[in-house]
A = this chain, B = another copy of it.
Amino acid sequence: MSEFEIIRDIFAPLTATAPGAFNLVDDAALLEQQNLVVTKDLLVAGVHFLAKDPLDLVARKLIRANLSDLAAKGAKPLGYFLGCVWPKHTDRASIEQFARGLAEDQERYRIGLYGGDTTVHSTKTGPLTLSATFLGTPPKQGMIPRSGASLGDDLYVSGTIGDAGLGLAALRKEFKFTTVDKASLSSRYHLPEPRLTLGTALAGLATAAIDVSDGLIADAGHIARACGLRAEIDAVAIPRSAGAASWVAAQENRWRALATLASFGDDYEILFAAPPAMRRSITVASKASRTEVARIGTLSRGEGVLFLDEAGRPIPVEKPGFNHFT
């Protein structure tokens, strides 16, 4: 099995909808004149996914994690560049399984592969490492920034929070769940749903947005910092799935449990801010995009994040989000 064969047989067919990719027979792709929103995310075995995860699901998670970044900017996805570092002695069937996952989600999200690079680790212990650079076109109202919110803007989040973290805990058997809950939570971990339709609908409405990948509280902190404000989040307002709700109910300390949900990563929901005058428009955008949106707090004077109980008292948060460097 040669690199040439892998690229020609497995990856080149993924460029059918990307004319500037030259069927992967050139060193570079050509993108015609247009505004581009560009984002880059890494996925590493043992860090962002489990080494045993099925490779087609890993491929789809790679695509979806990146599309989630585009969704939070209100951008429409166009295509991507892919870098793969395979573990030593990876067989062709594994790469084909990975490419099947790419093909499935390329069709689902109507995107094309534009180019990339593929190589192999020199030792047996090097983990599968994936790098993707995604391109999208900004909405005509302009890309939703992370930094545009004003004092008094509401904070919203889409979907439900904490499911992927609970799903990972379920897969690792750290918590017990019913079979139904385990299946739905672990599928949130394996296959996030990028909120592209909502993102498009929020263009021109949201003043700031981020996708929730580090954890709700950590990502609220990113927005707060970028806007020079403080994020105040009502813990009880955090949207929970049925599985997450029953997990919270089974915990001794409800507030600590909610803080845990809001500290897990990998939600791939959109956290965004909008002025109170926009509340009706946000409801319309939510309905039009068939995506649940919950109002969870506000941006106030100050800095950092306050995670508040029903009486408005701050709940201590031990570890607001994942930090790769500590």
Interface residues, chain A, with chain B CB atoms under 8 Å away:
1-3, 6, 22, 25-42, 44, 46-48, 69-70, 72-73, 75, 81-83, 85, 114-123, 125-127, 129, 131, 133, 136, 138, 143, 145-147, 210-211, 225-226, 323-326
Contacts and interface: CB of A to CB of B under 8 A. Distances in A.
Nearest to A31: B36
5 contacts: A3-B323, A29-B37, A33-B33, A122-B127, A125-B126
Given A33-B35, A122-B127, 9 more contacts: A22-B145, A25-B226, A26-B73, A26-B226, A27-B146, A28-B73, A33-B34, A41-B83, A125-B126
Contact of A210 (B27, B72, B136, B210): B27
A81 B81 CA distance: 11
A167 to B, nearest CB: 18
Nearest to A123: B46
A42 B48 CA distance: 19
Q: Which of A82, A85, A123, A138 has the most CB of B within 10 A?
A: A85
Q: Which of A22, A120, A210, A324 has the most CB of B within 10 A?
A: A324
A120 B114 CA distance: 27
Nearest to A35: B33
A70 to B, nearest CB: 7
Closest 3 pairs between A and B when the two form their complex, measured CB to CB: A46-B122, A131-B131, A125-B125
B40 A83 contact: yes
Nearest to A32: B35
Nearest to A129: B129
A66 to B, nearest CB: 10
A40 B38 CA distance: 14
Contact of A138 (B2, B30, B114): B30
A318 B147 CA distance: 58
A39 B115 contact: yes
A308 to B, nearest CB: 23
B44 A37 contact: no
Contacts of A226: 25-26
A1 B325 contact: yes
Contacts of A39: 27-29, 115
A122 B45 CA distance: 8
B119 A44 contact: yes
A143 B30 CA distance: 8
Nearest to A25: B226
A207 to B, nearest CB: 13
Contacts of A38: 28-31, 81, 114-115
A48 B22 CA distance: 26
